[in-house]
Amino acid sequence: MKNGLKIATIGGGSSYTPELIEGLIKRYEELPVSEIWLVDVEEGKEKLEIVGNLAKRMVKKADLPIEVYLTLDRQKAMKDADFVTTQFRVGLLDARAKDERIPLKYGILGQETNGPGGLFKGLRTIPVILDICKDMEELCPDAWLINFTNPAGMITEAVLRYSNIKKVVGLCNVPIGMEMAIAKLLEVDHSRIRIDFAGLNHMVYGLEVYLDGKSVKGEVIKMITELDDSSFVKNIQGIAWEPEFLKALNAIPCPYHNYYYKSQEMFEKTKKDAETKGTRAEVVKALEQDLFELYKDPELNIKPPQLEKRGGAYYSDAAIRLISSIYNDKRDIQPVNTINNGAIASIPNDSAVEISAVITKEGPKPIAMGDLPISVRGLVQQIKSFERIAAEAAVTGDYHLAVLALTINPLVASDTLAKAIVDEMLEAHKEYLPQFA
């Protein structure tokens, strides 16, 4: 790679962008970025201008020789890029609100990356990411695609399976959030903690926890059982685990496991929240309005602390750490979404998994974890089947596969229910699902 890196960020008008800019500023000495191109669509133009001007002020305050460009021309932004990062939302938060509200009518959890919501976010997003991959082949064939767009696992799966781009890594802030939360529980610096992660995106387990190289998993599990909130990470607000369950599981679940191990309680909580406070999308929409009002302030030249309420804590740490490790061939260990290649014995070799990997300039080298524990294996395999069928439905526009995918998902109790939800959600999102027309 040449000196003076070019990074193109698709979805540059996102409220998360200041996280990314902060990370690039902090690591400039090891990651000499000369150009940051923030790209968005016409509907996101106003937000792009606001957040882009904040990004320029942040770079100016840091006194670094980085040019920040704002554009609606994706191809122009991607030309000769070294890294393309994706953090977009097809249909914006209004589409997410439908993903969350419609399933509730059927007694099913509505959530951004799980169940019906995860399916339809994938159906809307995968065709767009594959178009981006085609652009990359022509405009920046040597670039790395770093995807933050949800559902990250399904999207990484689709890129690996249906595009010619192999230099792709999916990233989520849940694993680093788990690391940070466990370090806080143990009252130690994050650098002293390492977790063996294995599973799928939003379905990942901490199979082992090390403090200074010594296993402390049993101690951590005991501490988690004493908490009031089972998620203990900011992404979602969970419900306390039953100590007997967690001890027998003998692994650290991620926050999203609440939706599978506490389905009824989480449905009731989500339904009540939707009726009182609004869906998560509606809450985030209000949060974002406040954030963008802050971003408009011409005196603001740092990432505001209020951004952490958006659920993006440690996003910049995870994102820029990964990019820097690829660029500098650091060979450190990070949890990423990448091709399995035999690292998890019970998942197909050519499928995307979320796993601890050694990060090299050739990309992630997943660490062999062997087989998943029998207690979690079946659920992970079921979700992988859901992701595979959902990705195929997104690419082909096959209605029958969409119904099959949702029926496979453990949050949906029957094929009849799955068909009814798919029918209503296809109609609600038809503007963004031309492949099903």
Report how far residue 74's alpha carbon sits from residue 55's, in angstroms, rounded to the nearest whole number: 19
Q: How far is CA 250 from CA 221, 226, 245, in A?
A: 8, 15, 9
Q: Per this entry, what is the length of the chain?
A: 437
What phi and psi, each to the nearest 5 degrees, are found at residue 113?
A: -125, 5
For Cα atoms 174, 176, 179, give the angle at the middle one, nearest 5 degrees.
110
Q: In the numeric block, which tokens belong to residue 70?
A: 């704002």
Task: Please list, in sequence order, all residues whose beta carbon lies within 8 angstroms of the beta carbon of residue 248, skipping any fewer than 6 positions away.
Answer: 375
Report how far residue 266's alpha carbon sits from residue 36's, in angstroms, rounded to the nearest whole number: 40
Question: Do residues 201 and 195 lie in contact, with contact meaning Cβ atoms separated by under 8 Å?
Answer: no
* Residue type at 187 in one-letter notation: E
Question: Do residues 311 and 234 lie in contact, with contact meaning Cβ atoms separated by under 8 Å?
Answer: yes
Question: Do residues 47 and 19 lie in contact, with contact meaning Cβ atoms separated by under 8 Å?
Answer: no
For Cα atoms 281, 286, 292, give the angle at the middle one, nearest 5 degrees.
115
Question: Do residues 319 and 84 lie in contact, with contact meaning Cβ atoms separated by under 8 Å?
Answer: no
Question: Do residues 428 and 98 lie in contact, with contact meaning Cβ atoms separated by under 8 Å?
Answer: yes
Pairing of the two strands 168-170 and 193-200: unpaired
Residue 256 catalytic? yes
Count of other CB atoms within 10 angstroms of residue 72: 15
Pairing of the two strands 363-366 and 352-360: antiparallel
For 115-184, the DSSP string reads HHHHHHHHHHHHHHHHHHHHHHHHH-TTPEEEE--SSHHHHHHHHHHHSS---EEE--SHHHHHHHHHHH
Report how far residue 34's alpha carbon sits from residue 49's, in angstroms, rounded to the nearest whole number: 20
Report how far residue 338's alpha carbon sits from residue 201's, in angstroms, rounded to the nearest whole number: 10
Q: How far is CA 385 from CA 200, 280, 380, in A?
A: 11, 27, 9
- The two most distant CA atoms of the chain are separated, in Å, by 60
Catalytic-role residue among 16, 162, 205, 256: 256
Report how far residue 202's alpha carbon sits from residue 100's, in angstroms, rounded to the nearest whole number: 17
Catalytic residues: 256
